[in-house]
Amino acid sequence: MPLTSAIASNSFSTGMQVLRAQMAASGGGEITVGGQTVRITYSETDGRFLASGGNNSLLSGLLLTGLNGGPEALRDIMLRMVSGSGNTQSHGDIEGKISQCKFSVNTESLQCPSEAVRCPIILDKPEEGVFVKNSEGSLVCTLFDSVSFSHLVRDGGKHPLTREPITSSMIVSQEQCIYDQTKGNFVIKDK
């Protein structure tokens, strides 16, 4: 049975919990993402979900992790997936800049739609965020959860969207960014 979920709405965590409850109550269902359909069944005996079908084992694995382990487990996997090595700058310098530039996220003061404050790591609105340029020379910034981004830096990870090494100059303060309605992104303010 196809299920409709609000996972793409304001809160990934809430959407995942609703989907989990729907699946458990109905004994399973089918989930289609990007043309791939995965059949999920719920085992009442051990309270776990199982997947079958679909050609994408990564999709099946991520769905099962989210359903069996919760959104936090998915976030941890995403952090591990985007982690790499080769960051030449000291992690302490970057973490210091993150601490200096982090702020409490408020959609009204940022003057942006609610989906613009969804962090690509935690897939939800962060309590404390930090703006990070998408690349060294980019004028486009992305809002990240400051704790998750610090964790990524400590693990030697690269920028989650561009795979570039993270440098302290990519971390920018809230005052330096503005939401551009026409581009649908945060950008560096004109000086």
Contact 105, 10 (CB under 8 A): no
Determine what percent of the chain is predicted with pLDDT higher than 70: 75
The pLDDT of 88-103, averaged and rounded, is: 78
The ranges of the chain annotated as CATH 3.30.40.80 are 91-188
pLDDT at 156 over 70: yes
pLDDT in the model for residue 9:
41
Q: What is the pLDDT of residues 23-67, one digit of tens each?
A: 888 988 888 877 778 888 888 877 777 877 765 556 777 777 777
The C-alpha torsion from 183 through 121 and 12 to 102, rounded to 10°, is -80
Distance CA 109, CA 22 (A): 36
Closest CA to 169 of 108, 107, 88: 88
Place of tokens 């998915």: 74
pLDDT in the model for residue 191:
54
pLDDT in the model for residue 86:
40
Task: Say which CATH topology domain 91-188 has.
Answer: Herpes Virus-1 (3.30.40)
| One-character DSSP codes across 58-106 | HHHHHHHHHHHH-HHHHHHHHHHHH--S---S-HHHHHHHHHHH-EE--
Place of tokens 């400590």: 154
SS3 156: coil
pLDDT in the model for residue 107:
84
**Mean pLDDT, the chain, whole residue set:** 79
Lowest mean pLDDT among 45-59, 104-118, 162-176: 45-59
pLDDT in the model for residue 127:
92
The pLDDT of 93-119, averaged and rounded, is: 89
Give the residue with greater pLDDT, 130 vs 38. 130
pLDDT in the model for residue 82:
56
Please count the residues of the chain: 191
Q: State which H helix or E strand residue 131 sits in.
A: strand 128-133
